[in-house]
Every structure is written in structure tokens, then in C-alpha cells.
Amino acid sequence: MKNKWLEEITEELKKLPGIGEKSAFKITLHILSRPQEEVEEFARKLVDIKRNLKFCSICGGLTVEDPCEICSDPYRDRSILMVVEKPQDIFVFEKTGVFKGKYHVLGGLISPSAGITPDKLRIKELKERVVKEGVKELIISTSPTVEGETTALYIKKLFENTPVKISRLASGIPFGADLEFTDERTLSRALLNRITLE
């Protein structure tokens, strides 16, 4: 039996990462079995958060309050900045609980073929923060792809002849892998064993 509205929800759920046809259908049935208030509350939360989400004016991460929780946390080490490609990468690292410094989102990776030059990224802001916040180390955590390496090298060059230490996540993350799909243990290990770029 084809059911249009049942299919509509299933189709939406299938857009989520890692959710196939079968799981989507199962989740649809589960949602429909829940009490009315619970489903409304869930839908409202999603819409509310999405509506109120903005970019943190300091790190560029996603947040409801600006500055974000991490930037305004006095107990986080402001002398170490983790440089990431996109806002979601912050959530991935936060989940490991290993990193106690602060973050800086670049908003992309250098890719001349795609027309993404350094001036299109938040690199100027990074330079300003390093000076203003007295940053001593930058951990460049861009993905191990050609663009990720190019960006890491560019930033390393930028801080040449300055006392700022530049490090890169240790290997263990397969080349071409997306941080989002790297498991927490691998990520924690890569962070602890980070390599100083000479």
C-alpha cells in the first residue's frame, strides 16, 4: 500500500547521513507512534535552534549566543587555537573532549581550481586573533586532502619568523577522509600526537 504522507516523511529522513530507506521507514513509524506533544516539542526545538543559529563573531562556529560558549569560556586555553575548515568540525572535536583550547573556523579550504583564494577564507581574522589573544600554538586540523594540505602549508608560511608554533594532526586519519566520519579515538590520538610543522 502506498501512502503519500508516510512516504513524504520517509523521503525527508532519507536525506540524513547514514539513513537508508529501511531505517527511514522505521523512524517514520516510530515518530508516528509517539505522543502528539512529544513530536511537536521535537519539531519546535529543531525549528527554534535552526532559526536562532548564527556564526560566532570570534571563532566563526555555529552558535545561538554570540560569542559562543567556547569563546566565552574563561577556563579554555586561549593560547592554543585549533584551525578547522567548517563550523561542524568544532562539534566533532568537542565530542572527543580532549581539546581544551579554542577554535578558529576558516570557512573553507584554499582551492585555486575552485576559485577559493586565501582572501575568501577567515585568514585575516586568524592573523588578528593570534596577535590580539596572544596565541602560542595553531593546530591546523584541515582534512588530509590536497586542499587541506595546501591550506595548512599556506598558514604555516604566514607565521614563519614568528614565535607561533604550527602543528598538524598526526597521521592515522586516512588521506582524503572527512573529519566528520573519523571516529573519536582516532581523532583524539591524532590530536595528542600532533606534529610540529618545521
Binding site for Zn ion (CB under 5 A): 56, 58-59, 61, 67-68, 71
Beta strands 62-63 and 54-55 are antiparallel
Minimum distance of Zn ion from residue 127's CB (angstroms): 17
Minimum distance of Zn ion from residue 65's CB (angstroms): 9
Task: Look at residue 185 and give its three-state secondary structure.
Answer: helix
Q: Which is nearer to Zn ion, 129 or 189 (CB)?
A: 129
Q: Which is nearer to Zn ion, 67 or 108 (CB)?
A: 67
Minimum distance of Zn ion from residue 126's CB (angstroms): 13
Task: Look at residue 196 and give its three-state secondary structure.
Answer: strand
Q: Which is nearer to Zn ion, 62 or 98 (CB)?
A: 62
Q: Which is nearer to Zn ion, 44 or 124 (CB)?
A: 124
- Name every residue whose Cβ is closer than 8 Å to that of residue 2 and which is 6 or more positions away in sequence: none
What distance in Å separates the CA atoms of residue 145 and residue 182, rounded to the nearest whole number? 14
N-term to C-term CA, the chain:
64
Minimum distance of Zn ion from residue 104's CB (angstroms): 9
What distance in Å separates the CA atoms of residue 167 and residue 37, rounded to the nearest whole number? 49
